[in-house]
Copies of this chain bind each other. A is one copy, B any other.
């Protein structure tokens, strides 16, 4: 039941393409995981998420522990059955979102106390409880409980935060091994400091995980700083294990990270943008509320094979957003998820064929044209 086999089928420079075989299906890497925060990828039926090519989605421990609740979810048969998604699910640890609650949070060595944003009820999450919750949800890929170091952080702050996360990583691993799921991923921290990233990687490898995430990026440092860290951070992690860059990102972020050896991604951008009328297209982005689309009978993206582009015009999508019709977010989210999945397929193909640099340059060049 706990199968988790990562195989790299081809490399091209530092980029890699492969598969993760699990009991619930195969994940092709580099992979983009649509975010299903509250047991739904917002605005999409799960069969549409599958049809877009998503092999795995992400669920949010923080949201699900509050509503419907972890024990209740277990009684209801687990997250997969609840939301009608039979492919793999990765769950975050809840740490990032709990610690975003600001004044409602109290952090100690033992764990984090906080008040629910839903009903003000009091909760406590430790590494042990986070792992238990993820097990109750039925997660295929469990994430270690950590502190996402804030940006900017001094070397001292970053070191202290990272070392707490490493102590929590060990406790996460110990709790996980009492009743293992297919995989537990450790999370590298260390902010923008190379020595701390190295120390974190070494500590995680001593503990040993099925996969390794790069945390604490995409928190406001900008793409250039993120890429500087990605110039060295992935190579500090075991080459034969999946590397997951958490919370990233724009298509250009993903392209840059794949070139630097990252295998997995998640981000709310395609779904959130779908709800706010922003379309990701080959030439960049479009705002569907813009009046210039009002009589445009063309599709969002003539190169996109998605059902939205096959069946609907920009004029129709513009109309739906102007009229505040639900179908606007539904169709645009569908397109954006397809766009991301098509990008991942393009990257996988290009790596397999040894032309990922040229593919990346072409994609980035065409985005720049639209921005100009």
Contacts and interface: CB of A to CB of B under 8 A. Distances in A.
Interface of A: 38-40, 42-45, 63, 67-68, 72, 75-77, 82-84, 294-295, 297, 311-313, 315-316, 319-320, 322-323, 325-327, 329-331
Given A38-B319, A77-B297, 15 more contacts: A38-B325, A39-B316, A39-B320, A39-B323, A42-B326, A43-B330, A45-B327, A63-B323, A67-B323, A68-B322, A76-B295, A82-B315, A84-B312, A326-B326, A326-B330
14 contacts: A38-B319, A38-B320, A39-B316, A39-B319, A43-B327, A67-B319, A75-B295, A76-B315, A76-B316, A82-B316, A84-B311, A326-B329, A326-B330, A330-B330
| Copies of this chain, whole number | 2
B72 A325 contact: no
A22 B350 CA distance: 50
A63 B323 CA distance: 9
A322 B82 contact: no
A214 to B, nearest CB: 30
A39 B325 CA distance: 9
A151 to B, nearest CB: 29
A328 to B, nearest CB: 8
A315 B42 contact: no
